[in-house]
Structure 1
Amino acid sequence: FQLLTESRQTGFPHPSQYCAWGLGESLLPSCPLRPSDLPIASALLERKQEIAQGLLPGGSLLPRAKRWLDARRSALEQHATDFLRLNQRLALVLLGSSAEVADYFESLSHQDKALLSLSRCWQAFDTQYSERLREEMRRTFTPGIDLEEAAEIARTLHDKLLKKLEKKASKAEHGHEARFLCFVAAQLGGPIQEIFLQRASEKFRFMPPELSDRAQRLQAAAWRALESFAEDMDVLEGSDDTPSTSLQADEISYLLQRDIALFSLPLEQLQRAQGMDIVHELKAYYGRRYQGA
């Protein structure tokens, strides 16, 4: 169990701890300046830190979490065909139909550990694109910058990162995965920039952007992954029993179908979707912070 035995923990689920996909912790604010004005988000961020402590070596959660992950992986492996099909449906509604999606999932269908490979690919997207974009934006922005200037810098940084990924893909041994990763960055880069700009607006005091519906869906998905993981850890803390492989399989199926629904919802229904309460809370918070509240 790689993440649970490292000395650094985040409390956010690796894709293999969710349902073989995930957008990563980088889409969440790390330390809002006025957490009391974000009651829903702050409660989850606080729980995330508690989980991180519990998963450190010697932590109270670690032994039970290892058993939980074993059952999770067994469920993924035993139902690999069904879960790979659901993950492909999710990729199609998230990214759109393309040769990159089709070729990558075709290559996965011939692998023994397809869902583990898919999990690692989504984690690579977070570390090689999202985290780097977030850090480059933080490093490059300067006091006094406005939203238009910040957005232009973000687009330039995105282009540079995408070129690096494309160059790496051209030399990659496993070309289907590398090209899929590039496609994900190209498709999701815009809405992820919006989320990062919203967060940066508090520190650099520029007007927060109005998130597109796609950015709102991504933001909601990231928070829902954390919420689901926190609920699983709560169950572990309250019982010595580990959820069975069968129950794990039911949960994975539910989570995948829930995320497919999130990215398929008509725009007029999006604002009432599960997880959108935090999206609304964040929008109001950053708006108030810009206005000086």
Structure 2
Amino acid sequence: MKNEDGKNQIPPHSLSHVVDILKTAIKKIDIFTQPEASSLEVKEDGSLIAKKKNRLEKFLGFAKSFMGPLLFATIRHQQEKKLYDLKQQILQARDVLQSHSSLIEKLKTGDSSQQKLANSALEAIQRYNSILKKDYKSLARYDFYNYERNNLLSDKEIKGQLIQLPHTVSIKYDASVYSDKTKTTLKELGIAFQANSFKKTHAVKQTTHKKAEQFMLDTFRMKAIRMIQSHLPQSYSTAEILQLITQSPINLELENDLVLIRQQLTIGPGSIIILFGSFKQSSDLMSMPIIDHIQLSSESTHSGFPYPSQHCGWALIDELVHAYTLRTEQIPLYRQIESRKKKLSQLLLFDPDYIAKSYQQFKLKRENFDKNKAIILPLHRQLQEAILKGCFLFTENNKKILSIFYEKIHSSVSPFDLLTSLQEEITRKFIQYPAKLLEDEWLEGNQTLLRKGTPAERFQQAKTILETSREQMISDISDLEENDISAYIRLIGSALGKASQNILLQYFSEKIGYAPPMLSDFERKVQLCAFEQLLVFLDDMEKPIDPTTDFIQDLIQKTQKDLAIFTQTIDELPAEALINELEIYFNSRYNSIVK
């Protein structure tokens, strides 16, 4: 279902239960943050009441709140219970808004009622965060003598714990706008291109006369070079841009009297340029097509976790370090790392110096990797073998798949480019996509067992969603024409997808509401490897580039470190404290909820 702008819209009927939960949480936060409220009460049904008092009532109430508990034990116990009940209601409301923050972002582009709900939630969050930060500028009046609110604002579980909204991890740029006909046609072509992303197009389809086709390609490339030069930072030369264009797959499609061209270029970690072109074709096959339109659009995406091209040509994915925690004050190690990751994400999207540094390191790693592939590729193979051994998948047939694959990699134009793009594809399809399906089902499903079931039923449903999506992905790859690359994707994707399943189930356990699974030794190593890669990347990006850096040794050391994680015992690894912190946290959170 789509709105007037063509964006995906959540069907209203699928949200009725979730909407009620959000409205209840918003109302509680609204009452807690009412500027002129003099006191707060909790009714028997758990709802909150804000009371406004005159000066005399304020004075008497304030005196009673301070003096009563000192003089009478009964008043002290009543006050402690009242504050405890209030705190639980506020924490519960805060958790609801925090855990549904990505849904609130989606509702901003929904129908009018969904937009209204999103605005109400955002206003409540903004007011709550302002009061926690003691920022009263946006409030016309504020009662500083509200005893209950003042007491809660100094509580360690509330003080400084803001409701975090999703931060920007992707920025898009469009150079121009198409006519409606061309826009619609290219949009359909783009969808088709994405749907066939496993099929790498290495040759142009014969859609028109050979000479006319070559003319279109030459014209397209010349104009594309000029557009890319004006868009990219100065770190890319004309020769490098030309090499990108000539080596990247290109698609031609015939649509009525239009010939449509689409090409996607990877210009850096998380940064792509998509070139769309259209030519008007005459009925006279001997005449040259007339250029109708060429458009450049770009997208940069970075979560703060390294892409494979920013590590050693191989890396895991952000979903394995993004833990969806709601009470970050209880996990100081994770909170510190998550804060650094968010900050770096913004710098890599918006800071020219960091963007230039990222491009520079990317180019140096690719150059050194490809020049020294005879040294580095055997280490990569050892790493894949260690992963397969950890999953009990290191069979003779699978060894043969690896042998054939690495022979192909070794003979490719750029082993670095091919290896990194395949690893991104594997983690996206076998880890990121299943995680997104699970979150979407929980956020948008009305009658789903993830909402209505017992903790055991919720866990089983979450597990089923992850397993089914992984099995479907394996089936989709198997349906394609079998080749060396698809066999490798299926093998490594199956291994990493299965090993990541319990990690994802652990991370979702708090907000969905089930007992987190215990991770096996190998699953803990996968989780640990992801955090180690993140920590190394944060350290690398937070310090200036050292001109004396030996990038060959850097690539070798990073690969050897990842390999050591999967071949050493878990106690020997430095980030064990972090994954132990998360394990203890998720178990304690579940135990506190079921009490």
TM-score for both structures, normalised by structure 1: 0.88
**2:338 corresponds to 1:41:** no
- Counterpart of 2:503? 195
1:162 aligned partner: 471
More helix by share: 1
2:470 and 2:497 in contact (8 A); partners too: no
Moved more, 52-61 or 17-26: 52-61
| CA spacing shift, 1:170–1:242, aligned 2, 3 Å | farther
2:420 equivalent among 116, 119, 138: 119
Q: Is the 8 A contact 1:162 1:185 kept in 2?
A: no
| C-alpha displacement of 1:137 | 1.9
Equivalences for 1:108-257 in 2 at 5 Å?
A: 108-141=409-442, 142-143=450-451, 144-147=453-456, 149-151=458-460, 153-155=462-464, 157-172=466-481, 175-236=483-544, 241-244=545-548, 247-257=550-560
Q: Residue 268 of structure 2 corresponds to which residue in structure 1?
A: 2
**Amino acid of the structure 1 residue aligned with 2:434:** L
- Cα pair 2:458 2:514 within 8 Å, conserved: no
Distance in 2 (CA, whole Å) between partners of 1:15 and 1:250 is 17
Q: Measure how far apart 1:180 and its partner are.
A: 1.2
Deviation at 1:79, TM superposition (A): 1.4
1:100 maps to which residue?
401
Q: Which has the larger radius of gyration?
A: 2
SS at match of 1:136: helix
What residue is the counterpart of 1:260 in the other structure?
A: 563
Of 202-211 and 51-60, deviating more is 51-60
Whole-Å separation in 2 of the counterparts to 1:129 and 1:4: 18
- Deviation (angstroms), 1:66: 2.0
Secondary structure of the residue that 1:208 maps to in structure 2? coil
Contact 2:319–2:435 (CA under 8 A) maintained in structure 1? yes
Counterpart contact for 1:18–1:229, Cα < 8 Å: yes
CA distance in structure 2 between the aligned counterparts of 1:259 and 1:207, rounded to whole angstroms: 30
CA distance in 2, matches of 1:87, 1:202: 36
Deviations 1:108-133 (A, max 9, x none): 12212112211111110121121111
- Whether 2:362 is the aligned partner of 1:69: answer yes
Conserved 8 A contact 1:56-1:62:
yes
Say if 1:60 and 1:49 are closer, same or farther in 2 by CA, change over 3 A: farther
> Greater strand percent: which structure?
2
- Contact kept, 8 Å, 1:84 with 1:115, in 2: the verdict is no
Mean Cα displacement is larger for which, 56-65 or 189-198?
56-65
Aligned length: 284
Q: Would the aligned equivalents of 1:221 and 1:275 in 2 still touch at CA under 8 Å?
A: no
Greater Cα offset, 279-288 or 101-110 = 101-110
Distance 1:40 1:153, change over 3 A: closer
> Is 1:83 aligned with 2:376?
yes
**Aligned partners of 2:527 and 2:551: how far apart in 1?**
25
Contact 1:202 1:286 in 2 (8 A): yes
One-letter code aligned to 2:429: Q
Q: CA distance change for structure 1 residues 145 and 226 in 2, over 3 Å: closer, same or farther?
A: farther
Higher relative contact order (CA 8 A, sep 6+): 1
Q: Which residue of 2 aligns with 1:273?
A: 573
> Partners in 2 of 1:90 and 1:248 — Cα distance?
19
| Structure 2 length-normalised TM | 0.45
Q: Residue 243 and residue 211 in structure 1: after superposition, are their counterparts in 2 closer, same or farther (change >3 A)?
A: farther
**Gapped regions of structure 2 (runs ≥ 5):** 1-266, 272-298, 443-449
Which AA in structure 1 matches 2:364? A
Distance 1:264 1:113 in 2: 29
CA offsets 1:220-268 (integer angstroms, 9 cap, x no match): 01111111110110112xxxx4444x52221211111111111112xxx
Please give the alpha-carbon distance, in whole angstroms, between the structure 2 residues aligned to 1:4 and 1:155: 30
Distance change (3 Å), C-alpha of 1:69 and 1:155: same
Code of the residue aligned with 1:182 in structure 2: it is R
In 2, Cα distance between the equivalents of 1:148 and 1:103?
A: 43
**CA shift at 1:60, angstroms?**
3.9
Q: Distance in 2 between matches of 1:243 and 1:147?
A: 55
